[in-house]
């Protein structure tokens, strides 16, 4: 009986969706704790690809209860579409979905602000997913957000929407030259959403507390990754939440003493989508080669992902900040055809060697990776279902990753399908 957190240990898209789905077979509850529809979590079952944005990736197993925690920002329209999409897959969500009464809403003006802010930054833009994430979290900490519990009280909803719109319409009109948003439209959208989900709204912290007391098996599903964490990522090229394990406690109302396993998901190499520093990034041509091998296109926006070597400085940042207890290495198969594979063990800049990820952008942008070279295995790992079935050079590479990070590897993924998995 355990509570396990699934955390992205790089810049997101590590394969969290596949691993959450896989582990969900044996858990009772799966809970998202932060982020929103910026996430794109892919699950492949019997060759069919399903991409989830806001609903936890455990929803495909009929025995699970799926929770949207207080730390998540919910876009009502996207959420309702996703519920329809999930139902269209033949999955019954009734009675299996719980939404925190304290979660905040992403409303149409957040999307407008996200787009307008990015456009105004020009070359300096962050390359957000355009889903209104940053502006919604700004409202939350700015104490003008609209929360899920407001949906259940007409007067409260009206007051919350007014205070939020008063602040935003002025900015939209005068700074960004956009049309003001009509209060009546927002209220109507909120009411439609309230009707669709009113039976799911509850105090999910209390629900999870009871589930832990009842010795249920629980998975906390992180979105994004440690390097996109607003505190420990490549600030300001980050998202606006804490994808790290501490974020799981805050975003679900569960105390840190209740967490048993913190599982870091890492690709056997590195990718990032959007702008910002990426010390081990390949040159354009090789990036394109690996992008094709790994199908590295964003699950939410379809944007091409930037690709690079495995970076121990990045992963060790995640090991420390999250307190990782094990690693899951995904997409090992993508390296099958490469004759030489490199691992970054540190950075050099300005005559200094860096083993810990530096805070300042200048160092991050100018850091030269110190790379060690490993021979490839030049054979397919896609069919392997045991450690012994892996080629020797693949085993050596994986052992080196474990040695450099000081964390044991619990699972290796060699393909997108549930079956393409090695449990250690």
State the binding string over 107-146 for ligand IMO (x if CB under 6 A, else -). -------------------xxxx-x-xx------------
Q: Which window, 34-42, 142-150, 312-320, 351-359, contacts ligand IMO (CB under 6 A)?
A: 34-42
- Residue 44 touches which of Mg ion, ligand IMO, ligand GDP, none (Cβ within 5-8 Å per kind): ligand GDP
Interface with Mg ion includes 227 (CB under 5 A)?
no
CB of 135 to ligand IMO, least distance (A): 9
Length of the chain measured in residues: 424
CB of 81 to ligand IMO, least distance (A): 17
DSSP-assigned letters across all residues of 204-239: HHHHHHHHHHTT--EEEE--S-GGG-TTTSSTTSS-
Interface with ligand IMO includes 239 (CB under 6 A)?
yes
Interface with Mg ion includes 296 (CB under 5 A)?
no
What is the rounded distance in angstroms from the CA atom of residue 233 to the CA atom of residue 244?
Answer: 10
Q: Write out the binding residues for ligand IMO, residues 36-75 only, by CB under 6 A.
A: 38-41
Of residues 40, 135, 233, 308, which one binds ligand GDP by CB under 6 A? Answer: 40
Of residues 98, 273, 401, 404, which one binds ligand IMO by CB under 6 A? Answer: 273
What is the rounded distance in angstroms from the CA atom of residue 343 to the CA atom of residue 369?
Answer: 9
State the binding string over 298-337 for Mg ion (x if CB under 5 A, else -). -x--------------------------------------
Q: Write out the binding residues for ligand GDP, residues 305-334 only, by CB under 6 A.
A: 330-331, 333-334
CB of 40 to ligand GDP, least distance (A): 5
What is the rounded distance in angstroms from the CA atom of residue 187 to the CA atom of residue 154?
Answer: 9
With respect to ligand IMO, which residue has the nearer C-beta, 298 or 391? 298
- Contacts of residues 110-113 at CB distance under 8 Å and 24 or more positions apart, as own/partner, are 110/135, 110/136, 110/139, 111/135, 112/172, 112/176, 112/178, 112/181, 113/168, 113/171, 113/172, 113/176
With respect to Mg ion, which residue has the nearer C-beta, 132 or 222? 222
What is the rounded distance in angstroms from the CA atom of residue 162 to the CA atom of residue 249?
Answer: 31
Residues contacting 154, CB < 8 A, separation 6+: none
Structure tokens at 388: 């012994």
Interface with ligand GDP includes 264 (CB under 6 A)?
no
Interface with ligand GDP includes 415 (CB under 6 A)?
yes
State the binding string over 80-109 for ligand IMO (x if CB under 6 A, else -). ------------------------------
Residues designated catalytic? 13, 41
In 215-358 the beta strands, taken as DSSP E runs, fall at 218-221, 261-267, 270-272, 306-308, 310-311, 326-330, 340-349, 352-354
Q: Which window, 54-62, 206-214, 218-226, 411-419, contacts ligand IMO (CB under 6 A)?
A: 218-226
Neighbours of 349 (CB within 10 A): 16
Instruction: List the Cα angle 56/113/157 in 5-degree steps.
Output: 65
What is the rounded distance in angstroms from the CA atom of residue 329 to the CA atom of residue 316?
Answer: 14
Task: Give the side-chain half-sphere CA count within 13 A for 232.
Answer: 26
Cβ burial 100-121 (10 Å sphere, 16+ → b, else e): bbbbbbbbbbbbbbbbbbbeee
3-state secondary structure of 356: coil
Q: Which residues bind ligand GDP (CB under 6 A)?
A: 8, 12-18, 40-42, 44, 295, 299, 330-331, 333-334, 413-416
Q: Which residues bind ligand IMO (CB under 6 A)?
A: 8, 11-13, 38-41, 126-129, 131, 133-134, 223-225, 228, 237, 239-240, 273-274, 299
Q: Which residues bind Mg ion (CB under 5 A)?
A: 13, 40, 299
């Amino acid at each position: 009986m355990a509570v396990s957190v699934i955390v992205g240990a790089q810049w997101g898209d590590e394969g969290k969706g596949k691993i959450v789905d896989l582990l969900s077979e044996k858990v009772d509850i799966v809970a998202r704790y932060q982020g929103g529809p910026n996430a794109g979590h892919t699950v492949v079952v019997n060759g069919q690809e399903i991409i989830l944005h806001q609903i936890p990736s455990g929803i495909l197993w009929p025995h699970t209860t799926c929770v949207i925690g207080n730390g998540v920002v919910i876009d009502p329209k996207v959420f309702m579409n996703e519920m329809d999409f999930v139902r269209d897959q033949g999955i019954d969500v009734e009675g299996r979905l719980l939404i925190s009464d304290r979660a905040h809403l992403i409303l149409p003006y957040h999307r407008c602000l996200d787009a307008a802010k990015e456009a105004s930054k020009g070359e300096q833009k962050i390359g957000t997913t355009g889903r209104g994430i940053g502006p919604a979290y700004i409202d939350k900490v700015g104490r003008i957000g609209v929360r899920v519990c407001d949906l259940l009280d007409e007067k409260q909803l009206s007051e919350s929407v007014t205070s939020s719109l008063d602040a935003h319409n002025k900015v939209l009109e005068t700074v960004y030259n956009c049309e003001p948003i009509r209060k009546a439209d927002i209220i109507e959208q909120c009411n439609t959403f309230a009707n669709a989900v009113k039976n799911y709204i509850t105090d999910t912290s209390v629900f999870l507390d009871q589930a832990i007391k009842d010795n249920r098996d629980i998975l906390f599903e992180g979105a994004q990754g440690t390097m996109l964490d607003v505190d420990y990522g490549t600030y300001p090229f980050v998202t606006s939440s804490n994808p790290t394990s501490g974020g799981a406690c805050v975003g679900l109302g569960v105390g840190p003493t209740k967490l048993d396993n913190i599982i870091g998901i890492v690709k056997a190499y590195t990718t990032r989508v959007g702008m910002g520093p990426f010390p081990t990034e390949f040159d354009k041509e090789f990036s394109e080669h690996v992008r094709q091998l790994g199908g590295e296109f964003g699950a939410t926006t379809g944007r091409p992902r930037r690709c690079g070597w495995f970076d121990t400085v990045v992963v060790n940042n995640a090991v420390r900040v999250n307190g990782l207890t094990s690693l899951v290495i995904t997409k090992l198969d993508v390296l099958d055809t490469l004759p030489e594979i490199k691992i970054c063990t540190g950075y050099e800049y300005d005559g200094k060697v860096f083993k810990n990820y530096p805070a300042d952008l200048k160092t991050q942008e100018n850091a030269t990776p110190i790379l060690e070279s490993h021979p490839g295995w030049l054979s397919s790992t896609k069919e392997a279902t045991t450690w012994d079935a892996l080629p020797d050079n693949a085993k050596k590479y994986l052992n080196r990753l474990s040695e450099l990070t000081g964390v044991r590897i619990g699972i290796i993924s060699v393909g997108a399908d549930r079956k393409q998995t090695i449990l250690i």
